[in-house]
Each structure stands twice: as structure tokens, then as C-alpha cells.
Amino acid sequence: MFILPQHHHLHQAATIRRHHHHHNHRVYCAITTQIKTRPKLEQVVINTTTLVTPPKIDDPSLKSTWSQRAWVATGCTTVLASLASSVIGSYDSHIWLEPVLSGFIGYLFADLGSGVYHWGIDNYGDASTPVFGSQIDAFQGHHKWPWTITKRQFANNLHALARVITYTVLPIDLILHDQPVTMGFVGIASGCIMFSQQFHAWAHGTKSKLPQVVVALQDAGVLVSRSQHAAHHRQPYNNNYCIVSGVWNRFLDENKVFEALEMLVFFKLGLWPRSWSEPNSDWTEEAEDSPGIYFS
Ligand SMILES: [Zn+2]
Ligand SMILES: [Zn+2]
């Protein structure tokens, strides 16, 4: 069973013990309790150092490091290897329609996947959650200071997903390289997932400052639009999670798919999603220090 890692401060241990005290009629495993102790601001301020102040425009935390660039390079290589396997295999076996169709399904799948993942890290866990903690923390920071994503350098924004793609897709490339239809799906889906953070950053851009081709693709619905994603950053903060094309957003929101998943998670695991809480400092955007960058 997971117990708090040793580097956590006493404050956090104290918070959790208090929580145990209040709810000592129930038994949770430690990780569940940790996830449930989120919403209060003072806890966030005490527990995590990264969420206290927004990064400044030229903050080093927004710049790419060489290791981040290396991960983006391996991620891109992985995606290109998948696409190359698909093209070469299709050429050899004279099939074109199937790999193109499977690539298109990969594009649709990536948008859905981005939505489910984004919903998960927006609603559950915190900075101390194993594996996903840094992503959860980053997305919480993004809700407070959405405009900073436009100030991040390319690899700084993409490296986390590039790393995941490298670990998961590279083995698939090696095993299934002779299956052009599958590789078409894998290549397009993994490429769109890796670049979803770039599409997300563009969704926060100002029309006049974005490349014209990006604006055209956003307006055509190929990439997630600025207006659709702006709705994600407004009350009630529980919709428009998809950040590749956004093509799934309407269907998922109208059919309350995430609400159904939240009910399922609550009744099966007892976890309370952040979106059920009153809009609080976890979600609301702080006053912006560089007006005009966001929502325009
Ligand atoms: Zn979000
Ligand atoms: Zn956003």
C-alpha cells in the first residue's frame, strides 16, 4: 500500500492525519485519503510550492531545457517511425484506403483520448499523486494562469507527452512495424496526442498573433478552436476537455459522459471530482498581468 513518500513535509502529514480524525468511521487506503484532501487553498499553498505564484514572462520554468528537447526529438522520431512503417508497408502491399482510414480514426481517437486524460487529471489527485502528480500540478497551474501556456517554449510544453509516447509507442513500432494499417492509426494518434499541448497552446493564442494557417485550421474545426477551449476555462469548469480537434466535446458534454464517469468513480472508489466542488481557487483564473493575451 502506498504511504506518503518521505520528502513530504510534516504539514501534509498533519493535514492527512486531521482528515483521518474527522472521518475515523471510515477506512481508506492512504492514497485515497490523499486524493480526497484537496480542495482548500491553504492546503495547496502549504503542500505544493509550484502553485503559489504564476511564472514571470521570462521565467526559466517556461524555457526548454536540452533534456526536454531530447525527449521531444525521440517522441517525434517515434511518431515518424510509425508513419514511415505505415507508408512503406502500404506501398509494398498496394493498399491505401485502409491506412488512410485508420489514420483518420487515429486522429479522432487522439481527441477523445486527450479529453479523457485531461478530465482525469483536472478532477482527481494532486501534486503528490504517483506518476501523474506533475501533470496534475501543471494543469492546476494552467487553470489559475492560463495565459502562461502561450509563453512556454515548444519543448517545455511538449516534453511530458513526448516521453510518454516514446515509452509506449516505440515498443509498438518494433513489434507491429509490418502492419501498415495499424501503424497508420498508431502514427497519427500518437502524433496528435504528442502535439495536443501545442494545439492547446494555440487555442490560448490571440488571433492576430497566431500563424494564419493555424487560425484557418482552428476555424475549420481541424484543430481545437479558441472559443471552444475558452469555454473550458469558464464556469462551471466541467466541459470541453478535448484539446486535439475538439470534435468530441459537444457529444461528450451533451450526453454528460464525464458526469456519468464521475458518478461511477464516486460510487466505486469514493473519489470526489474537483468539478463537483463550488468553483474555488483551484479552478478560477487569477487576475491576468498581461491583458489581451487570453480570450481575444
Ligand atoms: Zn483543464
Ligand atoms: Zn487551457
Q: Would you say the C-alpha torsion 189, 192, 193, 194 has a positive or negative sign?
A: positive
Which pLDDT does position 60 carry in this prediction? Answer: 85
How close is the Cα of 24 to the center of ligand 1, in Å?
Answer: 33
How close is the Cα of 6 to the center of ligand 1, in Å?
Answer: 29
How far are the Cα atoms of 112, 248, 282 from residue 124, in angstroms, in the given order? Answer: 18, 21, 12
pLDDT, tens digit, 9 for 90 and up, residues 187-213: 999 999 999 999 999 999 999 999 999
Give the whole-angstrom CA distance, residue 59 versus residue 148: 10
Give the whole-angstrom CA distance, residue 125 versus residue 142: 15
pTM of the shown model: 0.77
The three-point CA angle 167-158-9 to 5° equals 80
Q: Tell which wins on pLDDT, 223 or 281.
A: 223
Task: State the ligand closest to the CA atom of 149.
Answer: 2
Give the whole-angstrom CA distance, residue 153 versus residue 198: 10
How close is the Cα of 139 to the center of ligand 2, in Å?
Answer: 8
218 within 8 A of 224, measured Cβ to Cβ: yes
Q: Which residues contact residue 52 at a Cβ distance below 8 angstroms, ignoring those fewer than 6 apart?
A: 45
Q: Interhelix angle for 257-269 vs 97-123, to 10°?
A: 50
Which amino acid is residue 224, in one-letter code? V
Residues within 5 A (CB) of ion ligand 1 = 122
pLDDT, tens digit, 9 for 90 and up, residues 242-258: 999 999 999 999 999 99
pLDDT, tens digit, 9 for 90 and up, residues 10-60: 344 333 444 444 444 444 444 443 444 444 443 333 333 445 677 777 788
- What residue spans define the domains of the chain? 56-276
How close is the Cα of 190 to the center of ligand 1, in Å?
Answer: 20
Q: Residue 61 class from Cβ within 10 Å (0-12 exposed, 13-18 middle, 19+ buried)?
A: exposed
